[in-house]
Amino acid sequence: MKKRIAATAILTAAVMALSAGCGQKAAPTEGTGENAGSAKEKVEIEYWALPYGPSDTYDPTLQRIVDQYNAEDHGATVKLQIMSWSGFIEQIQTAIAAGSPPDVTTAAYYGLMNYAAMGEALDLTELVEKWEAEKDPIADDFLDGMLEAGIYEGKQIALPFQTDPKNIYYRADILEDELGFTNLDKEVSWDKLLEICAAVKEKYGDEGMFPISFFTLDQGSTNAMLNVMFTNGASWISADGKEGALETPEVMECMGLLKEMRDKEYFPDGMVSYNKADTEKLYASGKLAMVWISPFTHVKSNEEMYKNTKIMGPVTGPSADKPREVAWSDGIMGFAQTEHPEETKEFIEWFLKNNEQLYIDGGASALPARKSFYENEFYKTDWMMGQYAKYRDYYVDLNWPADNCPLATNQIFVQNMLGKPIEAMLMGSDDMAGELKKTNDEMNRVLEELN
């Protein structure tokens, strides 16, 4: 009961983390494809979809996929509503309370766990069991750890949809052509990253160029903390998902790296108050050599900048046992209140097997969860997505090393708890151990309350 009440409280205050590069829409729009709703003898299920790509390409592509399903011989007709990022949580919450949530939705895994804790998630375990019993190739076709990330209290409450990795993108004309750095598509050690920063500052500092930046507002500092921790084999959460894991030598090394970058003035002035747009503008103006956040869809708007931008290989710290880069994964789920559970599960399965065009034609600003999709020529010819796909074996879901996201994840991320040590450091604090302890204690209080 405690988890259910707490999950409801979290939903009331939560603002779902936006996938980088996703635009906002003014209001929901219903599907208008010629086949939508045409089979009156079928039941109707409702799919509330968030726009994970540009509205002029993603929305019509998703509608075509739904229209294809509706034209085939299935037990249901799907009514698609493409939602706005703004207010989505409130709309879901209101619909749940009214007893009329959609049948299907997609969102970040850690947000979906709150619906599961409220008893609102449709159990999808039998789908996975069916795949395994029938030796369906999809059972082994998801990126590592993504299927497990959708499990809550032993039940598969969500299935993998896509993943949003966080890498460093950089000015190749500066780092490679002018400064002579090579093999940046391979593992890049912290020492090499600092060497690059020093070279940029020495040659271009007087011209107002900064070596590297991330942003801090809108959960940007949480992103930054996750990014650097994963490169050093560290995480924010214990393996059992019950305790914070910030008070370790590996995380202290991470703060040491960031503090060194601060002290050597590798970060832009005022970065502590940057939002994503500020960082993108600085990069676009030629005043920034590297950005530690992605995707870099904004780069596409400038042909010259796009031509000179690359994604760096996995950055690796001194304590890492293997290269890792954090990825924020999204799942697809059904709601337990649905009047049509079998038809809902049928659509979810079909959608996971037939959504490839969202990435090829739709311009989705994330990577697919299905390994086999990367065999498409698109991931060799599309420069940006090909860059991301090249490093997919290094991407690890943000819940690592826990098997799935604890219920408290949503509150911890929405309140930007993880970003507080970085923000304190950028504001001048040198007490790294103290800042990490304060945050770890704060996270433990939430984890204890919700576990």
Q: In the predicted model, what is the mean pLDDT of the chain?
A: 87
Three-class SS of residue 255? helix
Nearest-CA neighbor of 369 among 143, 50, 158, 147?
143
Percent pLDDT > 70 in the chain is 90
In whole angstroms, what is the distance from residue 2 CA to residue 287 CA?
Answer: 50
Contact 25, 55 (CB under 8 A): yes
Q: What predicted TM-score, i.e. pTM, was given to this entire model?
A: 0.80
Largest CA distance in the chain: 71
CB-CB neighbours of 23 under 10 Å: 16
CB-CB neighbours of 108 under 10 Å: 24
Three-class SS of residue 73? coil
Question: Euclidean distance between the first and final Cα of the chain, in Å?
Answer: 11
Label residue 13 by pLDDT band (50, 70, 90).
Answer: very low
Write down the CATH superfamily of domain 41-163+327-394. Periplasmic binding protein-like II (3.40.190.10)
Three-class SS of residue 122? coil
Contact 153, 381 (CB under 8 A): no
Mean pLDDT over residues 94-120, rounded?
A: 90
pLDDT exceeds cutoff 90 at 248: yes
- Comparing 64 with 384, the larger pLDDT belongs to 64
Output the CA angle 354-360-363, nearest 5 degrees. Answer: 110
Backbone angles phi, psi at 190, to 5 degrees: -55, -40
Mean pLDDT over residues 5-20, rounded?
A: 45
Contact 86, 15 (CB under 8 A): no
In whole angstroms, what is the distance from residue 57 CA to residue 67 CA?
Answer: 16
pLDDT tens track for 180-221: 999 999 999 999 999 999 999 999 999 999 999 998 888 889
**Confidence at residue 7, expressed as pLDDT on a 0 to 100 scale:** 53
**Confidence at residue 430, expressed as pLDDT on a 0 to 100 scale:** 95
**Confidence at residue 37, expressed as pLDDT on a 0 to 100 scale:** 41
Least confident of 19-33, 125-139, 431-445: 19-33
pLDDT tens track for 70-88: 999 999 999 999 998 778 8
Locate tokens 């090579």: which residue? 182
- Comparing 146 with 140, the larger pLDDT belongs to 140
Q: What is the architecture, at CATH level 2, of domain 167-325+398-448?
A: 3-Layer(aba) Sandwich (3.40)
Least confident of 24-33, 162-171, 258-267: 24-33
Nearest-CA neighbor of 392 among 404, 409, 375?
375
Locate tokens 């209080």: which residue? 445
Label residue 318 by pLDDT band (50, 70, 90).
Answer: very high
Three-class SS of residue 129? helix
Three-class SS of residue 154? coil
Output the CA angle 102-103-104, nearest 5 degrees. Answer: 90
**Confidence at residue 133, expressed as pLDDT on a 0 to 100 scale:** 97
pLDDT exceeds cutoff 50 at 336: yes
Q: What is the dihedral of CA 332, 335, 339, 343, to 10 degrees?
A: 20
**Confidence at residue 3, expressed as pLDDT on a 0 to 100 scale:** 52
Cis peptide upstream of residue 323 (ω within 30 degrees of 0) = no
Mean pLDDT over residues 387-411, rounded?
A: 86
Q: Where in the chain is the domain with CATH 3.40.190.10?
A: 41-163+327-394, 167-325+398-448
DSSP state of 237: B
Q: How many residues does the chain have?
A: 451
Pairing of strands 76-82, 159-165: unpaired
What is the secondary structure of 372-396 as a DSSP string? GGGGSTHHHHSHHHHHHHHTGGGEE
Output the CA angle 161-136-68, nearest 5 degrees. Answer: 55
- Comparing 304 with 16, the larger pLDDT belongs to 304
Query: What ranges make up the beta strands (E) of 28-131?
Result: 29-30, 43-49, 76-82, 104-108
